[in-house]
Amino acid sequence: MRATRFVSASLRWSLLGVLLLGGVLSAWAATPVAAPLPGTTITSPATINGSGTLAPFESRLIYRVLDLDGQAIGQSNLTTKGELGKPYTFSGQITFKATKRGPGRIEIEDVSESGGPPLATARVEVSLQVAGAGGGSCYTQTNECIQGRFLEYWTANGGLDINGFPLSGEFRQKLEDGKEYVVQYFERVRLEYHPEVTDPRYQVLLGQFGRGILVGVRGAPTARVAQEVGGTYFDQTGHNVGPAFGAYWTANGGLATFGYPLTELFKQKLEDSKEYQVQYFERARFELNTESSDPRYRVQLGQFGRQILNESRGATARKIGIIAPPTGATVQSAFAVQGTVSVVPAEKVLHYRVIALNGGPALPEGPVTVEGEYGGSGTFVARITLPPGFSGGARVTIEDISQGDNAVLASASIDVTVQSSAR
């Protein structure tokens, strides 16, 4: 038995040497799992299957299921089918004990019988569901759930009215301080779990949405001012909060929920293209909706969550695409430029410029209205009218310009030939 085992082990190490030289091991680790697919929601027990290029000597693999915190919540063996040293398949049931809904990971390893590091590994990111449970409070409006510590905070601090519906599950994200935290996004807030805080009452904190969004608001009154009669003055930031916003601020969590004011009260055109009186705080934007017949809803909060979430995931790199006319086209002095944007600006407005390629008179520029939901993708049609006597080459540029510092966030250009409409 010992001699047979020694020969078999030697054969395996010889095969492994060939495998390493050929680079097949890295190929095995790249795509061994056929199911579940990345992002799939699984409940214990779950079926897993896949294939590899070199059957293990022991005809088994080891699987491990990890939760969001990296803790192992399930581990056992998977049986493989195939001749030693040849391609093989594996399938089976994996079991785990998930205590909450959220991201997780399945890891599969080909472990050497003699010890040492795994000979090959693979992983697939999944969403874990609690067996026999709905995973907390779930909302069909966004198909997301809230649970555990975040649900407790959400419920105790204004619920739906203050925080909005959940836009994501819990996941890990590197935040502004360069550290990684467990977070969950809602329509109006981002909840962050800070385990480094010793007091459990303050381990769930709100992201500072207001401060981040305010950077892009052109003309916002951010400079410190003197105290005014009839309101509350915050010397920490040098701003006043009037009676209406002050009452809402106090009744719904005050400093812990919203932070200090960052501006005075001012008018701003918002995502619905209407103008409102607003005031920015560290974690929120207060909006005065005088059209509401119910006094309880005359003060509302800005919905920043979707925009911040999309940007943080890299899903909304700002891009402008021009669909028509194609570059090099011949157009009349009055023509339209159609295109798309990957991110609808807060004011739903782009800017167009036209310049003559060979010099000549000043050509027009102006705003372009964007159709679409703030923070999502959208479309535009720029209707341009050039002076009747102009003809020749022209360059049309569509730009997304920052409200804060006039920086160009995205742009696209086409060159056209203009036919004069002069008679």
- Same domain for 297 and 324, yes or no, is no
- How far apart, in whole angstroms, are the C-alpha atoms of residue 48 and residue 35? 5
Query: How would residue 243 be classed by pLDDT, with cut points 50, 70 and 90?
Result: very high
Coil, helix or strand for 396?
A: strand
Q: Is 266 exposed, middle or buried (0-12, 13-18, 19+ CB in 10 A)?
A: middle
- Same domain for 160 and 106, yes or no, is no
Structural domain range at position 363: 320-418
Query: How would residue 312 be classed by pLDDT, with cut points 50, 70 and 90?
Result: low
pLDDT of residue 25: 38
10 Å Cβ neighbour count for 137? 15
Please name the amino acid found at residue 53.
T
User: pTM (2 decimals)?
Assistant: 0.46
Using the 3D structure, point to which of 102, 129, 156 is the last residue of a domain. 129
Whether residue 310 is contained in a domain is answered as no
Whether residue 309 is contained in a domain is answered as no
pLDDT of residue 311: 61
Mean pLDDT throughout 114-138? 71
Using the 3D structure, point to which of 207, 229, 261 is the last residue of a domain. 207
Instruction: Identify the residue with better confidence: 85 or 191.
Output: 191
Using the 3D structure, point to which of 207, 230, 264 is the last residue of a domain. 207
Dmax (CA) of the chain: 103
Lowest mean pLDDT among 171-185, 288-302, 312-326, 368-382: 312-326
Whichever domain contains 59, its CATH number is 2.60.40.10
- Same domain for 6 and 125, yes or no, is yes
pLDDT of residue 8: 34
Whether residue 369 is contained in a domain is answered as yes
E-state strands within 120-201: 120-129, 137-139, 144-146, 171-174, 180-185, 190-193
Bridge partners (DSSP) listed for residue 233: 240
- How far apart, in whole angstroms, are the C-alpha atoms of residue 384 and residue 398? 11
* Site of tokens 């407790």: 152
Question: Is a pLDDT exceeding 80 seen at residue 61?
Answer: yes
- Same domain for 183 and 122, yes or no, is no
Q: Which of 120, 92, 124, 89 lies closest to 105, judged by CA?
A: 124
- Same domain for 97 and 157, yes or no, is no
10 Å Cβ neighbour count for 147? 23
Q: Which of 311, 68, 306, 44 lies closest to 170, judged by CA?
A: 68
Whether residue 389 is contained in a domain is answered as yes
Whether residue 264 is contained in a domain is answered as yes
358-363, long-range: CB < 8 A, 24+ apart:
358/392, 358/393, 360/390, 360/392, 361/387, 361/390, 363/387, 363/390, 363/394
Query: How would residue 32 be classed by pLDDT, with cut points 50, 70 and 90?
Result: low
Structure tokens at 35: 């199911």
- Same domain for 144 and 119, yes or no, is no
Please name the amino acid found at residue 407.
A
Per-residue pLDDT tens over the stretch 70-79: 888 888 888 8
- Same domain for 172 and 253, yes or no, is no
pLDDT of residue 315: 42
- Same domain for 35 and 122, yes or no, is yes
Per-residue pLDDT tens over the stretch 177-217: 788 888 888 888 889 998 898 888 888 988 877 677 777 77
- How far apart, in whole angstroms, are the C-alpha atoms of residue 49 and residue 71? 23
- Same domain for 188 and 227, yes or no, is no
pLDDT of residue 336: 93
Coil, helix or strand for 318?
A: coil
Please name the amino acid found at residue 50.
G
Mean pLDDT throughout 286-302? 83
Mean pLDDT throughout 147-176? 83
- Same domain for 125 and 179, yes or no, is no
Q: What is the mean pLDDT of the chain?
A: 78
- Same domain for 396 and 284, yes or no, is no
Cα dist from 365 to 259, 334, 343, 362, whole Å: 40, 13, 22, 9
Whether residue 315 is contained in a domain is answered as no
Query: Count of domains in the chain?
Result: 4
- Same domain for 329 and 407, yes or no, is yes
1-4, long-range: CB < 8 A, 24+ apart:
none
Are 175 and 183 contacting, i.e. CB atoms less than 8 angstroms apart? yes
Whether residue 12 is contained in a domain is answered as yes
Query: How would residue 368 be classed by pLDDT, with cut points 50, 70 and 90?
Result: very high
Mean pLDDT throughout 258-266? 91
Whether residue 41 is contained in a domain is answered as yes
Lowest mean pLDDT among 37-41, 273-277, 370-374: 37-41
pLDDT of residue 48: 84
Three state DSSP letters for 368-394: EEEEECCCCCEEEEEEEECCCCCCEEE
